[in-house]
Chains A and B, each alone.
Chain A
Amino acid sequence: NAGVMQNPRHLVRRRGQEARLRCSPMKGHSHVYWYRQLPEEGLKFMVYLQKENIIDESGMPKERFSAEFPKEGPSILRIQQVVRGDSAAYFCASSRLRLAGGGTDTQYFGPGTRLTVL
């Protein structure tokens, strides 16, 4: 049973270019979460999606960032006009059930995409 897949693992972009990060959840999981980790910091929640729906995007920057999880295919985190401050590791996680704390289900994390903006 394959885990959460993310690609690319490493992505280098110049300032002003677009970055597209892909996440394929575990089989049978329909809930996807994106997190960002800056060097030497913990992970920060960005967005929570179900198939074709954004449930919570309270952690997403208001501009340049967008996320989708189409009916078919992987979830995509898109960063337009990247800046140096976008350099970070971006992690995707998936779960089978909608999580509300206190439950027995959990999020499973992918290996991350390391974005470097030159």
Chain B
Amino acid sequence: TQLLEQSPQFLSIQEGENLTVYCNSSSVFSSLQWYRQEPGEGPVLLVTVVTGGEVKKLKRLTFQFGDARKDSSLHITAAQPGDTGLYLCAGYFGNEKLTFGTGTRLTIIP
């Protein structure tokens, strides 16, 4: 059974600060995705990373895939209240099942 651990579980920071959240697994991902989920809604895909060492940027969000494809990070620059939400990493391990991490609940304080 593949497990994805996310850290921190909860994060509360002031508007304008930078932050990084992490996603780790003991197994190699075929590919990894990051989602954001708002209360009462389904997860919304932010990015998919496939190649070890890959870096993708989405405005103030930077996603990195580890060289060994076992870990990933999400860095947010100059956080804004609109960034508040539950951030989930999810990985494929060679089949159709998407395995989700435990999530990081982010709160940006205005």
Whether B44 sits at the interface, judged by CB under 8 Å, is yes
Chain B CB count within 10 A is highest, among A4, A98, A99, for A99
Chain A residues engaging chain B, CB cutoff 8 angstroms: 4, 31, 33, 35, 41-45, 48, 55-56, 58-59, 91, 93, 98-104, 106-112, 114
Q: Which residues of A contact B95 (CB under 8 A)?
A: 56, 100-101
The smallest C-beta distance from A112 to any residue of chain B, in angstroms, reads 5
B45 is contacted by which of A98, A106, A112 (Cβ under 8 Å)? A106
Sorting the interface of chain B by its residue count into under 10, 10 to 19, 20 to 34 or 35 or more gives: 20 to 34
How far is B45's CA from A91's CA once the two chains are assembled, in angstroms?
A: 14
Cβ proximity bits B82-100 to A, threshold 8 Å, 1 near / 0 not = 0000001011111111111
Q: Are B92 and A101 in contact (CB under 8 A)?
A: yes
Q: Which residues of A contact B92 (CB under 8 A)?
A: 99-102
The smallest C-beta distance from A59 to any residue of chain B, in angstroms, reads 7
Chain A CB count within 10 A is highest, among B6, B43, B100, for B43
Chain B residues engaging chain A, CB cutoff 8 angstroms: 4, 6, 29-31, 33, 35, 40-45, 48, 50, 88, 90-103
For the complex of A and B, 9 pairs with smallest distance between CB atoms? A101-B30, A101-B92, A109-B42, A42-B100, A43-B100, A102-B30, A102-B31, A45-B97, A99-B96
Q: Which residues of A contact B48 (CB under 8 A)?
A: 104, 106
Q: Which residues of B contact A103 (CB under 8 A)?
A: 31
How far is B30's CA from A95's CA once the two chains are assembled, in angstroms?
A: 17
Q: Are A42 and B42 in contact (CB under 8 A)?
A: no
How far is B98's CA from A45's CA once the two chains are assembled, in angstroms?
A: 7
Q: Which residues of B contact A106 (CB under 8 A)?
A: 33, 45, 48
How far is B51's CA from A104's CA once the two chains are assembled, in angstroms?
A: 12
How far is B92's CA from A100's CA once the two chains are assembled, in angstroms?
A: 7
B40 is contacted by which of A98, A100, A111 (Cβ under 8 Å)? A111
Residue of B nearest to A109 (CB): B42
